[in-house]
Amino acid sequence: MAFVIAGLGLALILYRSLLAGVDDAAAARVRDIVAALQFDAARDLDSVLTATDQRIVAVQVIDAAGTVVKRSASAPADALIAPASVGPAMRIGLPDNASPDGDMRISGQTVNGVDGPYTILVGAGSEAVESTVKTVMILLAGAAPIVTVAAAAVSYLLVARSLRSVDAIRARVADISTSDLTERVPVPSTYDEISALALTMNEMLARIEAGHDAQRRFVGDASHELRSPVQAMLSALDVAAAHPEFLDADLASGTLRPEAQRMQSLVEDLLLLARADERGLTLRRRDVDLDDLASLEVVRLLRETTLTVDAELTPTRLVGDPGGLSRVLRNLLENASRHASSTIELRVHPAEHHAVVTVADDGPGIPEADRARVFDRFVRLDSDRSRSSGGTGLGLAIVSEVVAAHGGTVTIGDRVAGGALVTVQLPLMNSPESSR
């Protein structure tokens, strides 16, 4: 269809162009004869003006009585058209049906010569134009099947080549399973949409592999963490089964209850992180006095430790989840208490559009290279930050998730007098972040 439309358009343009050429030649001859009649009588016109060529096929000069007084050898003795149909204005390219045989286009003009009025008629042949256009149409019609077949063959080869790449990608994707996510789809050497698709799929597979590895590590670490309290309780129960006299209040309060509480805390942390991974944390947003929450956590910490807690709490109100913010303060204070030598410092105050919470301890601090890693799950730094110190390696990971859900940030730095300094920034009630 495209070839037919293009061929017809080309033929039409060619036809009009050739007709314009013969019309221009006829009009130019009319102007030459008009100019000559201003000085010479019609019978004395130069024979060159009435000569014919490939375009001009007939020339007639007609007097006022309608008699042809000068003509070319090929022109008839009678007027080509009625002289009355031609006026003093130039008429160019009268159509074929105006001529007797329908094979010429006539241009003409009436002019006053030196010996009276005359009508000049010049016929330009249109048969050659039509013949040329017909030849072109025949050639186009003959070429159409060849071009169509060639275009179809090239299109088939190009599409087949592209689809081979797609089929190779499909076959590789079909072979990839969750047991081996290291496979990648082949990337074609051509820089086109297929190669872009392959690159995008490889990036997707890399993300899936990373997520799968993280999930596998998470499950492995969780299993390892849960094994310890379960084994401790089973060991205590085995002892009690073998020696019933040992199953007393000391065993229950000193071994079974702490390990059960530890396992309960670990399960709750795991469930919180699993919900965060699945659909994000669901926050119950309400007005919260952050300094009041911090005060309650300080009181709780003082009941459980002999460390000195230096707290400066400035009234600070924001919109957030009270339970989640309490969890953040508790985890930060417990983390500090596990590593502090003698003192914990807690500061809560508003600053411009943020509520700022800082928790510092006078412990060994956290190396700069590990400050981003400690927010990952089940990460403990050696010795001081080991399982024996009571941590599960999930506290700071939960802090990071809850703070991020509130639109805030958490960073770790150095305490001026030595030790670790954790800084949390949360958007206040009237801040741009809190309105999102």
**223 in the same domain as 274:** yes
Q: In this structure, is residue 211 part of a structural domain?
A: yes
DSSP alpha helix (H) spans, 117-192: 127-175
* Residues 362-381 pLDDT 10s: 988 888 888 888 887 777 66
Considering the domain boundaries, does residue 271 fall inside one? yes
> 249 lies in a domain?
yes
Q: Is residue 137 part of a domain?
A: no
Longest dimension (CA), the chain: 154
CATH code: domain of residue 243: 1.10.287.130
User: Which CATH number belongs to the domain containing residue 337 in this structure?
Assistant: 3.30.565.10
Are 375 and 340 in contact, with CB atoms under 8 Å apart? no
Positions of E strands within 229-307: 286-289
pLDDT digits (tens, 9 = 90+) for 241-292: 887 777 777 777 777 777 787 777 777 777 777 776 666 667 788 899 999 9
Among 398, 356, 357, residue whose Cα is nearest residue 374: 398
CA distances from 187 to 192, 201, 209 (A): 10, 10, 18
Does 330 reside within a domain? yes
Quote the CA–CA distance of 79 and 75 in Å, as a whole number. Answer: 9
Q: Bridge-partner residues for 354, per DSSP?
A: 351, 427
Q: Which of 432, 429, 436, 431 is nearest to 286 (CA)?
A: 429
Task: List, for residues 22-72, the tens digit of each pLDDT value.
Answer: 889 999 999 999 999 888 888 888 888 989 888 888 998 988 888 888 988
Name the domain boundary from 131, 151, 176. Answer: 131
Mean pLDDT, all residues of the chain: 83
CA distance 124 to 54: 9
Could you tell me if 304 and 421 lie in one domain? yes
Q: Are residues 99 and 50 in the same domain?
A: yes
Any domain includes 43: yes
| 139 in any annotated domain | no
Question: What is the distance between the alpha carbons of residues 117 and 66, in angstroms, rounded to a whole number?
Answer: 11
Domain range holding 84? 2-131
| 68 and 115 within one domain | yes
Burial (CB < 10 A; 0-12, 13-18, 19+), residue 219, is exposed
Last residue of a domain, one of 131, 151, 168: 131
Of 289, 291, 285, 348, the closest CA to residue 320 belongs to 285
Please state, for a pLDDT cut of 70, what percent of the chain lies above it.
90
Distance of CA 434 to the CA centre of its chain: 30
Domain boundary among 131, 146, 176: 131
Is 123 in the same domain as 216?
A: no
Per cent of the chain over pLDDT 90 is: 22
For residue 94, the domain's CATH number is 3.30.450
Residue 275 sits in the same domain as residue 292? no
DSSP code, position 64: T
**Number of H helices and number of E strands within the chain?**
8, 12
Whether 101 has a pLDDT exceeding 50, the answer reads yes
Q: How many structural domains are present in the chain?
A: 3
Q: Is residue 384 over pLDDT 70?
A: no
Per the domain annotation, does 217 fall within a domain?
Answer: yes
Let me know whether 35 and 125 are in one domain: yes
If DSSP states are collapsed to H, E and C, what string results for 306-352? CCEEEEEECCCEEEECHHHHHHHHHHHHHHHHHHCCCEEEEEEEEEC
Report the 10 Å Cβ neighbour count for 382: 7
| 118 shares a domain with 27 | yes
Please compute the mean of the pLDDT values over residues 80-94 and round it to a whole number.
Answer: 86
